Structure 1
């Protein structure tokens, strides 16, 4: 069994954790197998300024085709290099990333002609973009050339099924993983360091300060709930982006400067330190294929408030058990959800404990073990 994964960029830490766990699982279960991840580029241009932590090392065999940004790699370059890597490695199973890169799609078609089994990894859901009938027909044709599928969760599986995919071929339905070991270890360390500093309760958002994140609505909702409730709560926004000035101006206009903190942007491995200073995660996005920050917060034992337009909501939020969901177009619904925790702070810890239980099936080790078994099963089929 020779497994070849095509992935877009090396600087995708959570995927690196998954690849490491797959490699480890294969060595343990199927020592005769060979495994290689071909990374097309080092990073996406939008993430070029991201810092890395050299103490975090991932162990899996990989090859980087272009030591520059993914955006700068032209289609002919990708196509030629991917086909060369394919012929050099001679896989029995090919795992491609999505269906948006025509170089990978053409490689999939070619692999099928050569008798190689193809797995398509998909994160998309029906709600994360506007859809056109022509594009949907094209996607239907593409995805149904694959032998099997790995998807993030329920909504991405449902979307594949809407494109005509046989549900029995969706072999992994919980591929939305994070590096839970690093996240939880650094969260626990930060909790010990802060001690009793965390006296004022906080809602926290982490991510890009961008229009699709719906942060103006979050700030206005927070203004209304803190204005009408006696509880002393604050709002912490961790991230940077094109709407920062607009959001800071909105905060000042509502006289919330002492209640809303703009922490700025931080690399992923620093986020647990901010989660440790907070109580409840809020993700109010108008559109989100998944929302891995919810995985992070749940791994840290936090309850979550999640927009029902986020792909993760169907899998990770059970209203009243570990958090609440809301319509991101309905400010009153978000206010009601926030007010629940302000008026019931005794529910924070037990609901956070439920979060930790519910996120367990999404552990990188658990998912990787399942993927290794799927690769083996595909290799056995004629």
Structure 2
């Protein structure tokens, strides 16, 4: 019998719910006597409380919520005590922590290793995420090199771990950036089948209207590439945030106010209906640990234009194949890629088909199966030691 304990920050994380459900399925499929428990520290992050999705998320895996409130309201001492208590009660054969930024989880990792329990670290970080001081990097090296195995979102997070001294062979999963591809595709197809064909072509951005998203550059590039009457393309912005008023003003100043649609913010499960009205996704961010909206668009068979500083770019975008990458500070580069699709409508479907091929390795079921196999190998190694 194998027991796996996963520590995660918040219950209301819809794509993680899909992944945990698939991990549980894979564990049970291999051996009905094996068990999984996901210790959810809290219900949500305070800034995301309004994104609660009610019945749209299925929690089809064993979990325990340690604190029935916001993560931000749970202090270090509370987290540490609750995590240690859960560990001692559950007595896992493998521990999976989902970050080395939380000292409560780090201390639990050291405790597990002292108890002889192997540890997996799930990592989404990359070297481009934030400015990093040398002493912090030394601390991270000390932490990560106490783990036995690693699950990474993609190439950028795997490469970053290797700079911290992690051996390639210890990185067991390099494509953990998964979404609920079934729900996204079903809702996309439903919207396509029930709505009339759009009158105009559209580029679409989905995300917060915030400074780090680099949206003024997108507006300026779009104005140069698609200004009427030469083009009838539109730019659809799905999301809300502190920059909305400034962006609306900029669109008017650029003379494209009637071509830019500010749709407002919507929960994740409504995003597919906006993608169904669009042709090409654009993610121009200055900083983006991954960019799961790119997965969503590619699952729907769409081409993508993504800045090189988005963590997903090395894994998911092949220039000239399923879209393009660009330097977020290089307006002319983004303008060129926008103009490519305006002038080559016949390439959109084919490049969207290539997106479907490139996103396939990030399907939730095979990724979860890899994770379950890693847990089993670690548990067997522990019992055989």
Same fold (TM over 0.5): yes
Residue aligned with 2:6, SS: strand
Partner of 1:362: 362
**Distance in 1, Cα, partners of 2:299 & 2:31:** 30
* Alpha-carbon distance between aligned partners in 2 of 1:308 and 1:359, rounded to the nearest angstrom: 17
- The residue correspondences of 1:93-172 to structure 2 (distance < 5 A) are 93-172=94-173
Give the Cα–Cα distance (whole angstroms) in 1 for the partners of residues 190 and 297 of structure 2: 15
Per the alignment, residue 50 of structure 1 pairs with: 51
Equivalent-residue separation in structure 1 for 2:76 and 2:191 (angstroms): 44
Partners of 2:333 and 2:228 in 1: how far apart? 15
Give 1:55 shift. 4.5
Determine the C-alpha separation between the residues in 1 that align with 2:141 and 2:250.
Answer: 43
Equivalent in the alignment of 2:174: 173
Equivalent pair of 2:236/2:261 in contact (CA under 8 Å): yes
Matches within 5 A, 1:199-218: 199-218=199-218
User: 1:7 — aligned with what?
Assistant: 8
Deviation at 1:51, TM superposition (A): 3.9
Task: State the partner residue of 1:352.
Answer: 352
Q: CA deviation at 1:54?
A: 1.1
1:303–1:355 contact (8 Å) kept in structure 2: yes
Residue of structure 1 equivalent to 2:290: 290
Partner of 2:77: 76
Mapped to 2, the partners of 1:55 and 1:159 lie a distance apart of: 34
Q: Distance in 1 between matches of 2:352 and 2:56?
A: 29
Q: Which runs of 5+ in 1 are unaligned?
A: none
SS at match of 2:43: strand
User: Which residue in 2 is equivalent to 1:330?
Assistant: 330
Question: How far, CA to CA, are the matches of 2:57 and 2:71 in structure 1?
Answer: 23
Cα distance, 1:53 vs. partner? 4.3
Alpha-carbon contact 1:25-1:369 (below 8 Å) kept:
yes
- Secondary structure at the counterpart of residue 66 of structure 1: coil
Please provide the CA RMSD for this pair: 1.0
Q: Would you say the 8 A contact 1:41–1:70 is kept in 2?
A: yes
Count residues with an aligned counterpart. Answer: 381
The 3-state SS of whatever aligns with 2:196 is helix
Distance 1:337 1:229 in 2: 19
Q: Is the 8 A contact 2:17 2:58 kept in 1?
A: no
Give CA-to-partner distance per residue, 1:299-323, whole Å, 9 cap, x none: 0000000000001000000111111
3-state SS in 1 of match to 2:65: strand
Q: Deviations over 1:317-375 (max 9, x none)?
A: 01111110000010000001111101101100010011011111100001001101110
Higher mean C-alpha deviation, range 207-216 or range 56-65: 56-65
Distance in 2 (alpha carbons) for counterparts of 1:192 and 1:105: 49
Q: Secondary structure at the match of 2:195?
A: helix
Q: Which residue of 1 aligns with 2:62?
A: 61
Whole-angstrom CA distance in 1 between matches of 2:162 and 2:319: 26
Is the CA contact 1:119–1:149 (under 8 Å) kept in the aligned structure 2? Answer: yes
Paired position in structure 2 for 1:373: 373
| CA distances 1:224-258 after superposition (whole Å, capped 9, x unpaired) | 11138823100000001111111111112222221
Contact kept, 8 Å, 2:205 with 2:281, in 1: the verdict is yes
**1:90 maps to which residue?**
91
- The alpha-carbon deviation at position 135 of structure 1 amounts to 0.6
In terms of mean alpha carbon deviation, does 128-137 or 45-54 score higher?
A: 45-54
Query: 2-side partners of 1:51 and 1:216: how far apart?
Result: 29
- CA distance, structure 2, for counterparts of residue 25 and residue 355 of structure 1: 26
Verify the 8 A CA contact 1:231 1:343 in the aligned structure 2.
no
Whole-Å Cα distance in 2 between the matches of residues 255 and 49 of structure 1?
34
1:136-194 alpha-carbon deviations (Å, 9 max, x no partner)? 11111111110000000011000000000011000000000000000000000000111
Matched residues in 2 for 1:359 and 1:201: separation?
A: 24
- Rounded Cα–Cα distance in structure 2 between residues aligned with 1:285 and 1:55: 28
Q: Secondary structure of 1:17's partner?
A: helix
Structure 2 distance, partners of 1:303, 1:151, is: 24
Partners of 2:148 and 2:56 lie apart in 1 by 38
